Amino acid sequence: MALETIPFSKALNAGLRKAMEDDDRVLLMGEDIGKLGGVFRVTEHLQRDFGEQRVLDTPLAESGIVGTAIGLAMAGFRPVIEIQFDGFVFPAFDQITTQLAKLTNRHEGKLSLPIVIRIPYGGHIGAVEHHQESPEAYFAHTPGLRVVSPSTPNDAYWMIQESIRSNDPVIFMEPKSRYWQKGEVDVESSAVALHASRVVRTGSDVTLVGHGAMVTTLLQAAALAEAEGTSCEVVDVRSLSPIDYAPILDSVRKTGRMVYAQEAQGFTSIGSEVAATVMERAFYALEAPVLRVSSYDTPFPPAKLEGAYLPDADRILEAVDRSLAY
């Protein structure tokens, strides 16, 4: 294996570069992604190396960006859009949910729209509202969209390429708090399919499940639990629509307990859907109710309060203790 240790953001950059080298139909579009390289520098140097015809700095008009990408996809291109921050996606929500998500079905499968919409999401960067939100459930609820969220640099490198190769529109949720997290990237082969869940730590007492930035927090909680004598298995969902339930259900049937943790609010969320499905499909294996740990059902607070708002390892461990107490 050819392994490199690089930050999450550099892994995304490398994945985008590889996709552009492999297919000259791949175009990048977004606000400040060219000369600046994006606010998180994910697209740094790509305009320099591929030119302004393939890495386009757009106006501040998210609806227009998505609408243009739809037209380009119809013409045979494979656009990759960057939404600068999670909260900025909503001006394009109509284009995404009523046009992009439905056009293939409207044309009875004869029209493909291979568009990737990259959305940096989540908290832990000390920013204000519209910059630290978690809107993934909106898109996972919309038929016609694929929704994925990598949690490691290796997944970032491979999942962005696999998303670009998809002939369906993909909402690519990037946990912005992990952009600077380093990890090993195998640049020669991908071990996991785009929509596969994955066990990232084995255990026997409680199953911890999550996606995106929360996977790192779950691993921290599992390490603390082990020091107290509790063995936690951790499952990274990776794909939010469709969801690969097999690894989750297999783990729950082994441990008998499950906690889902997420940065998003708890009401009608990804965690809600996974909890309900596990209760339906593995009810007789459960020794305790499925528990959820999430942010509160309020707008994102001022930055100084994000530590109290976002779930941390302590809140996850409290849920583990409650599960074990049944």
Count of residues in the chain: 326
131 is catalytic: yes
How many CB atoms neighbour CB 309 within 10 A? 18
The 3-state secondary structure of the chain, one letter per residue? CCEEEEEHHHHHHHHHHHHHHHCCCEEEEECCCCCCCCCCCCCCCHHHHHCCCCEEECCCCHHHHHHHHHHHHHCCCEEEEECCCHHHHHHHHHHHHHHHCCHHHHCCCCCCCCCEEEEEECCCCCCCCCCCCCCHHHHHCCCCCEEECCCCHHHHHHHHHHHHHCCCCEEEEEEHHHCCCEEEEECCCCCCCCCCCEEEECCCCEEEEECCCHHHHHHHHHHHHHHCCCCEEEEECCEEECCCCHHHHHHHHHHCCEEEEEEEECCCCHHHHHHHHHHHHCHHHCCCCCEEEEECCCCCCCHHHHHHHCCCHHHHHHHHHHHHHC
Looking at 45, 107, 124, 131, which residue is catalytic? 131
**Six token digits for residue 297:** 């059902």
Answer whether the bond into residue 242 is a cis peptide, omega within 30°.
yes
> What CA–CA distance (Å, rounded) separates 244 from 237?
7
> What CA–CA distance (Å, rounded) separates 65 from 75?
15
Q: Write the CB contacts of 134 (distance below 8 Å, at least 6 apart in sequence).
A: 86, 121, 122, 123, 262, 263, 264, 265, 295
Positions marked active-site? 131
